[in-house]
Amino acid sequence: MSLYDLPVETASGDITSLGAYDDKLLLVVNVASRCGLTPQYGDLQQLQEKYRDQGLQVVGFPCNQFNGQEPGTNDEIQAFCVATYGVDFPVFGKIEVNGENRHPVYQELTQTTDSQGEAGDVAWNFEKYLVAPGGTVVARVRPQESPAADEFVALVEANLPVRVS
Protein backbone atom coordinates (compact mmCIF):
# COMPACT_ATOMS: atom_id res chain seq x y z
CA MET A 1 0.00 0.00 0.00
CA SER A 2 1.41 3.38 -0.95
CA LEU A 3 1.35 6.60 1.03
CA TYR A 4 -1.49 7.74 -1.23
CA ASP A 5 -3.68 4.75 -0.35
CA LEU A 6 -3.52 5.12 3.43
CA PRO A 7 -6.75 6.34 5.02
CA VAL A 8 -6.69 9.81 6.58
CA GLU A 9 -9.46 11.53 8.47
CA THR A 10 -10.57 14.98 7.45
CA ALA A 11 -11.22 17.59 10.11
CA SER A 12 -14.94 16.93 9.67
CA GLY A 13 -14.49 13.22 10.36
CA ASP A 14 -14.75 11.85 6.82
CA ILE A 15 -12.27 9.21 5.69
CA THR A 16 -10.26 10.00 2.58
CA SER A 17 -6.68 9.51 1.37
CA LEU A 18 -3.84 11.54 -0.06
CA GLY A 19 -4.55 9.96 -3.45
CA ALA A 20 -5.83 13.22 -4.95
CA TYR A 21 -2.29 14.58 -4.56
CA ASP A 22 -0.28 11.78 -6.18
CA ASP A 23 0.77 14.10 -9.02
CA LYS A 24 1.80 16.93 -6.67
CA LEU A 25 4.88 17.80 -4.67
CA LEU A 26 3.39 17.10 -1.28
CA LEU A 27 4.63 19.02 1.75
CA VAL A 28 3.45 17.09 4.80
CA VAL A 29 3.75 18.86 8.17
CA ASN A 30 2.67 17.96 11.69
CA VAL A 31 1.21 21.16 13.06
CA ALA A 32 0.16 22.71 16.39
CA SER A 33 -1.63 25.92 17.36
CA ARG A 34 0.16 26.71 20.62
CA CYS A 35 3.80 26.20 19.75
CA GLY A 36 6.64 28.65 19.38
CA LEU A 37 6.85 27.45 15.78
CA THR A 38 3.14 28.06 15.05
CA PRO A 39 3.94 31.14 12.90
CA GLN A 40 5.26 28.64 10.35
CA TYR A 41 1.60 28.25 9.36
CA GLY A 42 1.92 31.63 7.67
CA ASP A 43 5.06 30.58 5.80
CA LEU A 44 3.41 27.33 4.72
CA GLN A 45 0.41 29.26 3.41
CA GLN A 46 2.71 31.58 1.46
CA LEU A 47 4.45 28.58 -0.12
CA GLN A 48 1.06 27.09 -1.00
CA GLU A 49 -0.04 30.31 -2.68
CA LYS A 50 3.23 30.90 -4.53
CA TYR A 51 3.75 27.36 -5.86
CA ARG A 52 0.21 25.93 -6.10
CA ASP A 53 0.13 26.33 -9.89
CA GLN A 54 3.48 24.56 -10.16
CA GLY A 55 2.17 21.51 -8.32
CA LEU A 56 2.88 22.10 -4.63
CA GLN A 57 0.31 20.88 -2.14
CA VAL A 58 0.79 21.54 1.57
CA VAL A 59 -1.10 19.29 4.01
CA GLY A 60 -1.16 19.61 7.79
CA PHE A 61 -1.67 16.94 10.42
CA PRO A 62 -2.41 18.40 13.86
CA CYS A 63 -0.74 16.56 16.70
CA ASN A 64 -0.93 17.04 20.47
CA GLN A 65 2.05 14.87 21.40
CA PHE A 66 4.52 17.67 22.07
CA ASN A 67 3.80 19.36 25.41
CA GLY A 68 0.06 19.41 24.68
CA GLN A 69 0.51 22.24 22.16
CA GLU A 70 -2.51 21.21 20.06
CA PRO A 71 -5.29 20.72 22.61
CA GLY A 72 -8.17 21.95 20.43
CA THR A 73 -10.85 19.98 18.69
CA ASN A 74 -10.66 19.56 14.93
CA ASP A 75 -13.22 22.35 14.51
CA GLU A 76 -11.26 24.68 16.78
CA ILE A 77 -8.04 23.92 14.91
CA GLN A 78 -9.67 24.69 11.56
CA ALA A 79 -11.10 27.97 12.84
CA PHE A 80 -7.71 28.99 14.26
CA CYS A 81 -5.84 28.17 11.03
CA VAL A 82 -8.22 30.14 8.83
CA ALA A 83 -8.72 33.12 11.15
CA THR A 84 -5.08 33.53 12.20
CA TYR A 85 -3.12 32.54 9.09
CA GLY A 86 -5.63 32.38 6.24
CA VAL A 87 -4.82 28.72 5.69
CA ASP A 88 -6.52 27.23 2.66
CA PHE A 89 -4.52 24.01 2.45
CA PRO A 90 -5.99 20.84 3.98
CA VAL A 91 -5.51 20.46 7.72
CA PHE A 92 -6.68 16.96 8.53
CA GLY A 93 -7.98 15.48 11.77
CA LYS A 94 -5.67 15.27 14.77
CA ILE A 95 -3.33 12.26 14.81
CA GLU A 96 -0.32 10.83 16.64
CA VAL A 97 3.00 10.98 14.79
CA ASN A 98 5.08 8.96 17.27
CA GLY A 99 4.62 5.94 19.49
CA GLU A 100 2.37 2.91 19.49
CA ASN A 101 -0.55 4.77 17.89
CA ARG A 102 1.53 6.49 15.20
CA HIS A 103 -0.65 7.16 12.17
CA PRO A 104 0.19 4.94 9.14
CA VAL A 105 1.19 8.01 7.08
CA TYR A 106 3.83 8.77 9.68
CA GLN A 107 4.86 5.11 9.94
CA GLU A 108 5.97 5.57 6.34
CA LEU A 109 7.37 9.10 6.61
CA THR A 110 9.48 8.53 9.73
CA GLN A 111 11.52 5.90 7.90
CA THR A 112 13.04 8.78 5.92
CA THR A 113 16.37 10.19 7.04
CA ASP A 114 17.03 13.89 7.55
CA SER A 115 20.12 15.80 6.35
CA GLN A 116 22.11 14.29 9.23
CA GLY A 117 21.16 10.74 8.19
CA GLU A 118 18.76 10.24 11.10
CA ALA A 119 15.35 8.59 10.76
CA GLY A 120 12.82 7.66 13.42
CA ASP A 121 10.52 9.69 15.61
CA VAL A 122 9.30 13.14 14.70
CA ALA A 123 11.33 15.58 16.81
CA TRP A 124 8.69 18.28 17.39
CA ASN A 125 5.83 20.20 15.83
CA PHE A 126 6.36 21.45 12.26
CA GLU A 127 8.65 18.69 11.01
CA LYS A 128 8.42 18.78 7.23
CA TYR A 129 8.45 16.02 4.60
CA LEU A 130 8.59 16.65 0.86
CA VAL A 131 7.05 13.85 -1.18
CA ALA A 132 7.61 13.88 -4.94
CA PRO A 133 4.83 12.96 -7.36
CA GLY A 134 4.47 9.19 -7.24
CA GLY A 135 5.32 8.89 -3.55
CA THR A 136 9.08 9.10 -3.11
CA VAL A 137 10.04 11.09 -0.02
CA VAL A 138 12.75 13.46 -1.25
CA ALA A 139 13.46 15.35 1.97
CA ARG A 140 12.86 15.38 5.70
CA VAL A 141 13.40 18.76 7.28
CA ARG A 142 13.47 19.22 11.03
CA PRO A 143 11.10 21.66 12.76
CA GLN A 144 13.49 24.53 13.40
CA GLU A 145 14.09 25.16 9.70
CA SER A 146 11.55 27.69 8.52
CA PRO A 147 9.54 27.01 5.38
CA ALA A 148 10.55 30.55 4.37
CA ALA A 149 14.29 29.82 4.61
CA ASP A 150 16.14 30.19 1.32
CA GLU A 151 17.45 26.61 1.53
CA PHE A 152 13.97 25.20 2.06
CA VAL A 153 12.43 27.27 -0.74
CA ALA A 154 15.22 26.11 -3.07
CA LEU A 155 14.45 22.49 -2.13
CA VAL A 156 10.77 23.04 -2.94
CA GLU A 157 11.59 24.75 -6.25
CA ALA A 158 13.98 21.96 -7.27
CA ASN A 159 11.24 19.35 -6.84
CA LEU A 160 8.19 21.09 -8.31
CA PRO A 161 6.50 18.96 -10.98
CA VAL A 162 5.58 21.93 -13.20
CA ARG A 163 8.21 24.39 -14.38
CA VAL A 164 7.23 27.93 -15.22
CA SER A 165 9.53 29.68 -17.66
Residues labelled catalytic: 35
Residue 75 CB contacts under 8 Å (≥ 6 apart), including other chains: 11
Instruction: Look at strands 8-9 and 15-16 and give their pairing.
Output: antiparallel
The amino acid present at 67, given as its one-letter code, is N
74-85 and 40-51 helices, crossing angle to 10°: 70
3-state secondary structure of 151: helix
